Amino acid sequence: MVHLAVARQYSILGIKHILEGLDHLLFLICLMLVAGIGKKLWITITGFTIAHSITLALSALDVMRLPIPPVEAVIALSVVDLAMEIALQKKIPLLIAIL
């Protein structure tokens, strides 16, 4: 039961994190615009969530340390790239969702 309580707490924190971050919401909306509805959308969002969780865990466990400015720049570039793909009507590679 302890594991279920921890999973519930982390799920609530994760949802709060997404809802409070406008950049997260816009990125997920853009992913939805490109991936559409259905299996591809779930695969894309799941890939994004898993990659986000791994990088968060590596940072929290002090396995990996990266300076914040370059990380923020890469995040911004991924959002710009996604917006350009939407504007140019291209299909999104799953790799961009992992970034």
Q: Give the pLDDT of residue 91.
A: 58
d(CA 6, CA 79): 31
Q: Give the pLDDT of residue 50.
A: 86
Q: Is 79 left (phi over 0), alpha (psi -120 to 50) or beta?
A: alpha
Given a cut of 50, the residues of the chain with pLDDT beneath it are: none
**What is the reported pTM?**
0.56
Q: Give the pLDDT of residue 98.
A: 52
Angle subtended by helix axes 68-87 and 22-35, to nearest 10: 40
Q: Give the pLDDT of residue 78.
A: 81
In three-state secondary structure terms, 59 is helix
Q: What share of the chain is helix, strand, coil (3-state, %, to 5)?
A: 80, 0, 20
d(CA 74, CA 53): 17
